[in-house]
Chain A
Amino acid sequence: MTAQEGATITQAAQGLETVSITRPGFLASVARDKKAIVGIVILTILVLAAILAPLLAPYDPNNMDFEMIESPSAKHLLGTDDLGRDLLSRLIYGAQVSLFVGVSTVGISLVIGLFLGIAAGYYGGFIDTVIMRYIDLQWAFPNFIIAVYLVAVFGTGLSNVIIAITLAFIDDFARIARGMVLTIKEEQYIDAARTVGVSDFRIMWRHILPNAAAPIIVQATVSISYAILAEAGLSFLGLGVEASTPTWGLILAESRSFISRAWWLGLFPGLAIMLTVLSINFLGDALRDHLDVRETTEI
């Protein structure tokens, strides 16, 4: 673990020198990045589609009729599935699930991971040992495998999938936060704050967290794309959300019996996942370049 730990700390230290998300011109420089623009445009469209799904979707996503396995046409722009359901409508509603799972899981695991990482790094000693033992245990396994293990225990369904993915991502954030805290803790302004009697909580919240923000933001962005892939993978395996919910992974799983005669069922749901993940990766990459954070991803 020493090598890994060392790497995290150097990484954190490098992040520190250049960090400043409030730096003048930061947003402007990101906005000039071609990758960032493409990413933001696609993401905006997806978010709007998810929010406006009831208005945009031409049909009810679960409405079946007798036009089964029809190829794309003017009536059904992306064709229909084996139960005569409109694929476009199902994909638009699927965006809701993907984005919701991606953002909620990363949001919650970010908060828990930051809390654990900052507490471990700041207090050290016994608290650090206990937290890091757990984090190291989780670090030995890929996030997706952990999510599969947890779904095996909790069972399937949207809330269990969210819990499983959330827990699976905690170690990434805890590690980065701890590494940052260990570096920042030694700075004189922290000593100064402590000397004048600023509370531990306020030091962590007001002084350490903002300075640790850059690598954490980059990791969070990348994690959202992995969380979306994880949800799609779980749904595809039949370990995801309820079968009645249209999700991209589930639509792909259902399409497998028909792929030889219905290419659209195999193509479009995958394209939807790829475009979403791609746009987030573009954005993450642009943020990484402009915040000058080195690669921090696990898987």
Chain B
Amino acid sequence: MSAYLIRRLLGAVVVMWAVATLVFFMLRMVPGDPFLAMVFDTGDPAAADDMRRAFGLDKPMYVQYLKYLQQVLQGNFGNSIYGSGIPVSQIIAEAFPRTMSLTLLGFFMALIIAIPAGLISALKKHTAIDHGVTVVAFLGLSMPDFWLAILLIIVFAAQLHWLPAIGYVALDQGFWPWFSHLIMPAIAIGTPFAAIIARMIRSSMLEVLKADYVQVARSKGLKHSYLIFMHAMPNALIPVITVMGIALALLMAGAVVVENVFAIKGLGRVLIQGILNRDYPVVQGAILVVSVIFVLANILVDMMYTVIDPRIRYQ
């Protein structure tokens, strides 16, 4: 197990190096010179040269690359070249907890909706409830998250005035201010995931209910609710673990878009604003941090399999 973990972590280091290298060289292939664009107003080529020197862009490519790797390893992503020039690491450190809050809340919202929906759907197979859940799940899967976000704002912020339309408040400012700002974006990113989970739980629950041990439990006269909650449900939930990696991917991809709808300055908004402003140090930093999150999360999910289902062993 620990040998496997070490191998996975080494693999992760290689992936990160590959991503860092790709990002470095690809961003330097970008057409259009951001430094020229920045001094375009003054129209002064000498000023652009000064800036290039200040950012070390006059050095040969391999020198820049080595210096970049060294800095990235120290958690130094350079300074934002747009506006205030604050360190990218600081921007990311502020954005990270927002994205994490949103992603985790989205995850829990999805589970709270999906688990009962999937179970009821399986227990009431081929009834109106079951068909209803299926239709809603298909709609949820087909709805663009940013559109759902807009609809939620129209209804709950613009019309009913129940919730704030945009912004983010940190959790240490109190639970309700935090929750009221995040609930709509969390539902927007959680919905496609909830749809997938509900359908998965339905089919796995149907399989479990046919299994021998459930039949035995039933024939020895076990109470129905005990049978469902203590025997069938835990086993029906195992497959959900297998889609956790996909879940994280879905939720993070959703957060990138939805943060922009709700003006939450998380990693997604930082990344997109960086791209729109051609603020390359910011884009670079955001891509690297988002990548680290994915790679580590994938490992974490694989580790969780072994905890939840001890039959799985990694060599």
**Residues on A facing B (Cβ under 8 Å):** 2-3, 7, 136-137, 140-145, 148-149, 151-153, 155, 225, 229, 232-233, 236-239, 249, 252, 255-256, 259-260, 263, 266-267, 269-270, 273-275, 277-278, 281-282, 285, 295, 297-299
Q: Pick the contact of B294 from A140, A255, A267, A281 — CB < 8 Å?
A: A140
Can you list 30 pairs linking A and B with CB atoms under 8 Å apart? A3-B312, A142-B249, A144-B256, A144-B257, A145-B252, A145-B256, A145-B294, A148-B272, A152-B27, A152-B274, A153-B26, A155-B32, A232-B144, A233-B145, A233-B146, A237-B260, A239-B276, A260-B158, A266-B147, A267-B151, A273-B147, A274-B142, A274-B144, A277-B144, A278-B139, A278-B142, A281-B141, A297-B246, A298-B246, A299-B250
Q: Are B252 and A233 in contact (CB under 8 A)?
A: no
Which DSSP category, helix, strand, loop or mixed, fits chain A's interface?
Answer: helix
Binds A, one of B34-42, B93-101, B283-291: B283-291
| CB pair A273 B144 closer than 8 Å | yes
Residues of A within 8 A of B274 (CB): 152
B126 to chain A, nearest CB (A): 13
Q: Which of B19, B145, B146, B275 contacts A148 (CB 8 A)?
A: B275
Q: Quick one: which of B276-310 are within 8 Å of A by CB? A: 276, 283, 287, 290-291, 294-295, 298, 302, 305
Q: Is the CB of B253 within 8 A of A145?
A: yes
B86 CB–A CB distance under 8 Å:
no
**Which residue of the partner chain B has the closest CB to A276?**
B142
B211 within 8 Å of A (CB atoms): no
Of all A-B residue pairs in the complex, the 5 with the closest CB atoms, nearest first, are: A270-B147, A278-B142, A142-B249, A277-B142, A144-B253
How many B residues, CB 8 Å from partner? 52
Residue from B23, B141, B256, B287 with most neighbouring chain A CB atoms (10 Å): B141
B257 in complex: contacting residue of A143, A233, A263, CB < 8 Å: A233
- Give which listed residue, A137, A143, A273, A295, contacts B15 with CB less than 8 A: A137
For B253, the chain A residues whose CB sits under 8 A away are 142-145, 299
Q: What is the CB-to-nearest-CB distance from B167 to chain A, in angstroms, rounded to a whole number?
A: 15
Q: Is the CB of A153 within 8 A of B276?
A: no
Check B153 for interface membership: any CB of A closer than 8 A.
yes
Instruction: Specify the chain B residue showing the minimal Cβ separation from A298.
Output: B246
Closest to A297 in B: B246
CB-CB nearest in chain A for B193? A299
Whether A2 pairs with B314 at a CB distance below 8 angstroms is yes
Closest CB-CB distance, B34 to chain A, in whole Å? 12
- Taking CB atoms, residues of chain A closer than 8 Å to B171 are none
With a cutoff of 8 Å between Cβ atoms, the chain B residues found around residue A233 in the complex are: 144-146, 257
Asked whether, in the complex, the Cβ of A152 is within 8 Å of the Cβ of B275, the reply is yes
Is there an interface contact between A153 and B272, defined as CB atoms closer than 8 Å?
Answer: no
Give the docked Cα–Cα distance between A275 and B31 (Å).
37
Whether B294 contacts A151 by the Cβ 8 Å rule is no
Contact A145 B31 (CB under 8 A): no
In the complex, which residues of chain A have a beta carbon less than 8 angstroms from the beta carbon of B242?
A: 7
Contact B249 A299 (CB under 8 A): yes
Cβ of B150 and Cβ of A252 under 8 Å apart? yes
Contacts of B141 in A (CB 8 A): 277, 281
Closest A residue, CB atoms, query B312: A3
Do residues B151 and A270 form an inter-chain contact, with CB atoms below 8 A? yes
Q: CB of B154 within 8 A of chain A?
A: yes
Q: Check A3 against B305 for contact (C-beta < 8 Å).
A: yes
Specify which chain A residues have a CB less than 8 angstroms from the CB of B23 in the assembled complex: 149
A136 to chain B, nearest CB (A): 8
A274 touching B147, Cβ below 8 Å: yes
- Chain B residues with CB under 8 Å of A259's CB are 150, 153-154, 158
B261–A142 contact, CB under 8 A?
Answer: no
Tell me, in angstroms, the Cα distance from A274 to B31 when the chains sit together. Answer: 35
Q: Is B138 an interface residue (CB 8 A)?
A: yes
Residues of B within 8 A of A238 (CB): 272, 276
Contact with A along B154-175 (1 / 0, CB 8 A): 1000100000000000000000
Q: Given A145-B290, A252-B147, A259-B153, A153–B256 Cβ distance below 8 Å?
A: no
Do B138 and A282 touch across chains, with their CB atoms under 8 A apart?
yes
Do B246 and A263 have beta carbons less than 8 Å apart? no
Q: 8 Å CB contacts to A: which residues of B250-280? A: 250, 252-253, 256-257, 260-261, 271-272, 274-276
State in angstroms the CA–CA spacing of A209 and B298 once bound together. Answer: 31
Chain A residues closer than 8 Å to B252, beta-carbon distance: 142, 145
Q: Is the beta-carbon distance between A148 and B151 smaller than 8 angstroms? A: no
Closest to A280 in B: B142
> Which of A143, A274, A285 is the most central at the interface, judged by chain B CB atoms within 10 Å of its CB?
A274
Q: Are the CB atoms of A270 and B30 closer together than 8 Å?
A: no
Q: How far is the CA of A297 from the CA of B305 in the complex (A)?
A: 19
- Flag if A252 contacts B146 (CB, 8 Å): yes
In the docked arrangement, what's the CA distance between A119 and B249, Å? 28
Apart from A148-B275, A277-B142, list 12 A-B contacts with CB within 8 A. A144-B257, A145-B252, A152-B283, A229-B144, A232-B146, A233-B144, A255-B150, A259-B158, A260-B154, A275-B142, A278-B142, A299-B249
Minimal Cβ-Cβ distance residue in B for A238 = B276
Which residues of B are found within 8 Å of A144, using beta-carbon distances?
A: 253, 256-257
Cβ–Cβ contact B153 & A153, under 8 A? no
Q: Which residue of A lies closest to B199 (CB)?
A: A295
Contact check: which of B261, B295, B314 meets A140 at CB < 8 Å? B295
> B54 at the A/B interface (Cβ < 8 Å)?
no
A256–B148 Cα distance when bound, in Å, is: 13
User: Is B294 in contact with A141, judged by CB distance below 8 angstroms?
Assistant: yes
